[in-house]
Amino acid sequence: MTADMDARTRRVYLVLLLAPLFLLAFLYLYPLSRVLWLSVTVPTPGFGNFERLFTSSGIQNVIWTTLRICVFTTALALLIGYAVAYAALHLRGWRGELLLFFVLLSFWLSVLIRAFAWLTLLQSRGLINTWLMNVGIIDAPLTLIRNEFGVVLGMVHYMIPYAALPLYANMKGIDTRLVPAARGLGASPVQAFLKVYLPMSLPGLISAGILTFIFSLGFYVTPALLGGGKTIMISEYIAVQINETLNWGLGSMLATSLLLAIFALLAVLSFFVDLRKVFGVK
């Protein structure tokens, strides 16, 4: 609806549009492009850094670890998030609201505090090991952190609200009258769910899944603390390249690859849903 605007109004709104864009370009896109630039110019111009994706087994290890952890995290967060969203929506009265309250609470709580809480519980002299040894179930402490188990646990804990909240929003739009209709036609509760409800919630499930996976890929704090330097995901690996070995070529190449992977996933996502809807601007 630009036709009905006079020149003055147009000018006002163009300034409103272009001023933030200019700042974003200078303070965000320019720094970002610098990372991309470094990946093909440091230490020597060319794609030498990217070749290491195919030749270095250390890097491939980190990538596989990252992918494995993200797949487990996404699958578990979706499963649990789906159950929570479903229950929150279909429970009558205060129970559903209470469920949602706890999900939102968890959503707002700090990522560092989560990791700290898990460390308190899972360390070798943490509460769980101390308790198990006092009761006499185990003699030596279990290794619950500094491995993939600890990282996945912490990440699932973080990602459940990120899966549950979009799923909840999506399920709200589903016409639930179809389920009793299926039941009336003789379907068992499980059949009605699998054949009617689940297919209708599939677009929401796919977009929540891809978003959860994208967020998981870039995780830094949780894997760094619960992986304890043993289980290393790509973000922490990049940080080590920059902070400890000052290897900007390798670090920026991995950052660029991570970014490209995420944009590729978003492109896939855009086949299933309108991206503007996913990010809440439509």
Stretch 16-55 residues interacting with another protein (CB under 8 A)? 16-17, 19-21, 23-24, 27-35, 38
Per CB under 8 A, which region of 43-51, 66-74, 139-147, 219-227 contacts another protein? 219-227
Q: What are phi and psi of 88, to 5 degrees?
A: -60, -35
- Residue of 62, 63, 217, 250 that binds another protein (CB under 8 A): 217
User: What is the identity of the amino acid at 125?
Assistant: R
Per rule CB under 8 A, is residue 145 in the interface with another protein? no
Binding string, residues 149-188; x marks residues near another protein by CB under 8 A: --------x--xx--------------x--xx--x-----
Judged by beta carbon, residue 47 or residue 101, the one nearer another protein is 101
Which residue shows structure tokens 């016409």?
175
Please pick, from the candidates 67, 75, 111, 133, the single residue that binds another protein as defined by CB under 8 A: 111
Task: Tell me which residues in 254-273 interact with another protein (CB under 8 A).
Answer: 255-256, 258-259, 262, 266
For residue 262, how many other CB atoms are within 10 A of its CB?
A: 16
Please pick, from the candidates 51, 58, 112, 268, the single residue that binds another protein as defined by CB under 8 A: 112
The nearer residue to another protein, 141 or 218, going by C-beta atoms, is 218
Contact predicate 35/252, CB 8 Å: yes
User: Which one among 123, 170, 212, 231 touches another protein, defined by CB under 8 A?
Assistant: 123
Question: Is residue 64 involved in binding another protein (CB under 8 A)?
Answer: no
Residues 65-94 that bind another protein (CB under 8 A): 80, 83-84, 86-88, 90-92
Instruction: Give me the least distance between CB of 223 and another protein, in Å please.
Output: 11
Pick the stretch among 50-58, 114-122, 140-148, 201-209 that binds another protein (CB under 8 A): 114-122
Residues 236-255 that bind another protein (CB under 8 A): 238-239, 242, 251-252, 255
Q: Which of 69, 58, 5 is nearest to 254 (CA)?
A: 58
Place of tokens 């919630």: 201
Task: Please say which residue, 115 or 208, places its beta carbon nearer to another protein.
Answer: 115
In contact, 141 and 58? CB cutoff 8 Å? no
Of these, 130, 143, 195, 268, which contacts another protein (CB under 8 A)?
130
Q: By CB neighbour count within 10 A (0-12 exposed, 13-18 middle, 19+ buried), where does 157 fall?
A: buried
The pair of three-digit structure tokens given for residue 172, joined into one six-digit string: 């709200």
Q: Which of 190, 244, 246, 271 binds another protein (CB under 8 A)?
A: 190
Return the residue of 45, 55, 57, 108 that touches another protein, per CB under 8 A: 108
